[in-house]
Amino acid sequence: MLSIILNGCFGRMGEELQKEIYNREDLNLVAGIDRTKQDAAFPVYQSLAEVNETADVVIDFSHESSIPHLVDQCVQKQLPVVIATTGLSEQKKQKLQEASRAIPLFYSANMSLGINVLIEALQKL
Ligand SMILES: NC(=O)c1ccc[n+]([C@@H]2O[C@H](COP(=O)([O-])OP(=O)(O)OC[C@H]3O[C@@H](n4cnc5c(N)ncnc54)[C@H](O)[C@@H]3O)[C@@H](O)[C@H]2O)c1
């Protein structure tokens, strides 16, 4: 069972990921992170710093402004992370490079092969 924290859980992609995760018995959504508040079947926080649940990986479909803090927290908590958010500046991409020396980090601005690519990436992580 792979435990997942979903950053941007209430966005369009976050909602799609929620459905995919619930449809699979080998995936478990342990917590979500979003700047908006909504009812959910899982605990929701505004920052990874607040999340107490343990997980195998963080999946991010959010906003570029959230990436530096998210990555810092992933490094601090030693959590592997998949980042799909687009629009990252060169400075933020450089930050991902640096973080990838400390934790498993998969970044792609084009997951066009869909959710299967993401799941394959998770298995590799
Ligand atoms: N890599 C890919 O193939 C791929 C595919 C689709 C979308 N995307 C990217 O994923 C991102 C999300 O897309 P979307 O269509 O779901 O967007 P969206 O606007 O529907 O959802 C973004 C979500 O992130 C939340 N959010 C914003 N700032 C946040 C923060 N600081 N912390 C936590 N959550 C925050 C918003 O409240 C919202 O719920 C975009 O950057 C989009 O370009 C990438």
Distance from C-alpha of 65 to C-alpha of 86, rounded to nearest angstrom: 10
| Number of domains the chain is built from | 1
Q: What is the pLDDT of residue 113?
A: 63
Q: What is the pLDDT of residue 118?
A: 73
Domain membership of residue 14 as a residue range? 2-124
- Indicate if ligand 1 lies below 6 Å from the C-beta of 63: yes
Distance from C-alpha of 123 to C-alpha of 86, rounded to nearest angstrom: 22
> Is the dihedral angle over the CA atoms 47, 48, 49, 52 positive or is it negative?
positive
CB 60 within 8 A of CB 83: yes
The one-letter amino acid code at 29 reads L
CA 112 to ligand 1: nearest atom: 3
Closest C-alpha residue for ligand 1 atom 43: 86
In this prediction the pTM is: 0.92
Terminal-residue alpha carbon distance, the chain: 14
CA of 34 to the centre of ligand 1 (A): 10
Q: What is the CATH number of the domain that holds 103?
A: 3.40.50.720
Query: Which parts of the chain have pLDDT scores under 70?
Result: 113-116, 119
Closest C-alpha residue for ligand 1 atom 6: 13
